[in-house]
Structure 1
């Protein structure tokens, strides 16, 4: 028999499919709410160090902190967050409306010898968007720590770091229809309904679609339809105002002995899956529609990864604006080890070493020397318009508030569009102000009165740092929302004793960059 801290759930090669019974889901949601089943309450229950350990896949500190507690929050924390078997009497007390039978009906647990055995997890997930803070409950399959073994290939992932990053990237101004391509547990669809009137969520995995439907009801999210199928097949001929996708982009060798996990691997060679999404997205966007997706891309045969993505965008049958950001780059060994560990295979085992060999052989065969990780923003220009945005950049710096990057992207696109309609004379006549999160740093050599380096630093958005010369720093410092840019540049030219026209030609392109990146803002009366 087990004690109150419970034992790990068992591994089933083919775990039972979840069943999204709506009435039972609503009863379960009522029980979770009554128990105070939330991220803050759980963190307070087992403490911040244990909570951080749970995020790293370590359950023991939280179990120790719970000790012998049998209240509903402790019981549900063990069962649904930590994936530990619990006494049936305690679970029944914690779920007065759904009951143990409700968990079984949903396919989330089973009973055995007076104990409830978890078959899935439900974890509270906090989020931040332009409307403030909130929280979701997200059901998904047991992870490798709860199972005590590697993952089954049909595993449905919960809200991992990548999916939460994408949730923060949504272009979240109010819109009509959104497509969530490869919905998984449904987190992107749930996020999209906060700003969209309708969402279509697709996935090739029936199991993922069922988890997504459970999560819609648990979170009282409506007007989301789920469809089963590969890539754009379920929405052939349809268009959307937005597309979001965390596709199965992981580059996996097509070799026996290397698991092809459905949640991360589409069964294609190399980065072909991301290429397919990029080249196919335009036909499914309404004019002015935007797609945002995560992806990996290879540096192959001497061609940089970002340049490969550029060729995909250029080969789209629909001309597209593109903004591609590479957040990190891994060499083949780093990439292989990262994803092998992600599947639950541990370093030091023969299986681990063999899989590393397989990955490296696959990369060598295709002359891959690095893999980029990042996101891609695509936009179908308005009817009759031509693409005006082609931005491919590396931004490896840590971000300050990832949950609000979508708002930053929305504002950046808006600034880009405004500036596209402004010539240099119009920009020189505009009145600008410095964004409130921008600071300046000056670096001096000891004893020198003049700075050797001047940096403008952004506290939000992409947390960029821009090196400025004396003229640009002076202009930014003078942008207080009172005087137009042109007279400011003329005054600075006089102080620096340089030609005003030459200084204007030098500074205006930099001003355009700072406006798009959010260092500067345009006065509303100056907007075209």
Structure 2
């Protein structure tokens, strides 16, 4: 196990906060010190440019090398950088630990993290490379790519109550304090709760902390929004590392969350989580996740990646600091790959799930493969997707509406040489923002959408199109309804107001 549970007192956090503020050790200060090149290199796991940039930067440079690079620093320099926190208190808390001779190194990963409104500090365990040892079973991760992707995929619309299920270092709860009146954070790990408490105290935030597995700590309670970055790693049952292993086999942890989460939402409340699902031979992944859903739930499953089993196993072994070439790595990889083979697993899907509790008799369930690159965060898009689903439910016939094509939607033509010059082979409707949805169209549909400029209802446009092309108007309407609904869901058609 890790060292004894850390205890960050209110006074220790206040003095450490003062030290960080005095030094300018915040998200903007670190970027300004390092510059874009060294900061980008640090994000790639290349510390030397940051080390060089921080050499003559006084106490800020010391804090950067100590907490961000994992360097050993002279005790006198650390004492100056942490003032007004006494060095003895920092040693007693484990914020720094003894190194060689008269030198010290960080005992925790304490780093700035921010958004467009300001910044915080997040307390976590040192990663295995910084610590120089394999991760402990109760290791608490820092702010990684998965955490940041969930932050970007979560709606930030105002909410009265938010639950961060499996809070870890507390980063999701930090972001929730921007838009929620009351934030509750839970975890099964006592160590995670201690470090999350330190994160909240360091940032002067009031967050309710509860310990327990899954939804047990909040039984019979409901929340306007639930955010969860669960232990979603799939494979044989067991818990090597609390931050990634649920103890359940395969993708049962993701299935459990999807099944149970809606019951803890207020009516119309939403859940946003990361999840993994197995790609099993002879089974469509969308059918698999669809079976997880309880009644009365709108759901949007977004698949962002599918990993080959061998690559998946190697990635997670290295994440825990285990060399796949070592004797231990070979044994673990063998057992993991055997489990995949025995269960006909051909790949592991990963992505985002948005859920909403609804009283509608016709919940919307959509599974989409969005593995292409896009920059826009999914959080506001997820909220807008739920809005559009509700809008579609409130309209008996989507063809009675006057539409317009948003300015963010363009029509692309792919043409090839022909005897008459150029011949169109593909017409593609493309939304240039959000997740960058695309729809291939025929010439007739392209002409229909060209008329969607906020003047006539879709039914009238279909009548005109049928008359101009000698088509059957009723057949056009039948074909148009599902297409219009999908374009509305994707934000590529909107009601003209």
TM-score, scaled to structure 1 = 0.87
SS at 1:244 equivalent: strand
2:269 and 2:353 map into 1 onto residues whose CA distance is 14
* Structure 1 residue 200, shift from structure 2 partner: 1.2
SS at 1:463 equivalent: coil
What are the residue-to-residue correspondences of 1:465-480 with 2, within 5 Å?
465-480=438-453
* Structure 1 residue 58, shift from structure 2 partner: 2.8
Which deviations, in whole Å up to 9, do the C-alpha atoms of 1:70-106 show, x marking residues without a partner? 5122111011111222222222222333343453354
- 1:18–1:106: 8 Å Cα contact kept in structure 2? yes
Does the alignment pair 1:164 with 2:161?
A: no
What are the residue-to-residue correspondences of 1:63-74 with 2, within 5 Å?
63-67=51-55, 69-74=56-61
2:78 and 2:462 map into 1 onto residues whose CA distance is 70
What are the residue-to-residue correspondences of 1:100-499 with 2, within 5 Å?
100-104=87-91, 106-111=93-98, 113-127=101-115, 132=116, 134-222=118-206, 224-254=207-237, 260-300=240-280, 302-313=282-293, 316=294, 319-382=296-359, 385-402=360-377, 405-424=378-397, 427-447=398-418, 448-499=421-472
Structure 1 gap segments, 5+ residues each: 1-12
- 2:54–2:64: 8 Å Cα contact kept in structure 1? no
SS at 2:439 equivalent: strand
* Structure 1 residue 144, shift from structure 2 partner: 1.8
Q: Which 10-residue stretch deviates more, 151-160 or 428-437?
A: 428-437
Select the residue among 15, 26, 33 that pairs with 2:14. 26
Partner of residue 74, structure 2: 87
**What value does the CA root-mean-square deviation take over the aligned residues?**
2.3
1:515 and 1:22 map into 2 onto residues whose CA distance is 51
Structure 2 gap segments, 5+ residues each: none
Q: Which 10-residue stretch deviates more, 455-464 or 54-63?
A: 54-63
SS at 1:445 equivalent: strand
Tell me the matched-pair count. 494
- 1:306–1:326: 8 Å Cα contact kept in structure 2? no
- 2:54–2:62: 8 Å Cα contact kept in structure 1? no
- 1:301–1:367: 8 Å Cα contact kept in structure 2? yes
2:428 and 2:118 map into 1 onto residues whose CA distance is 35
1:50 and 1:260 map into 2 onto residues whose CA distance is 34
* Structure 1 residue 199, shift from structure 2 partner: 1.3
Q: Which 10-residue stretch deviates more, 479-488 or 509-518?
A: 479-488
- 1:415–1:515: 8 Å Cα contact kept in structure 2? yes
- 1:185–1:211: 8 Å Cα contact kept in structure 2? yes
Which deviations, in whole Å up to 9, do the C-alpha atoms of 1:261-299 show, x marking residues without a partner? 111111222222122212221221222222221111113
Which deviations, in whole Å up to 9, do the C-alpha atoms of 1:147-170 show, x marking residues without a partner? 223212211011111111111122
2:205 and 2:455 map into 1 onto residues whose CA distance is 46
TM-score, scaled to structure 2 = 0.92
Provide closer, same or farther for how the CA distance between residues 399 and 61 of structure 1 changes in structure 2, counting only shifts above 3 A: same
SS at 1:194 equivalent: coil
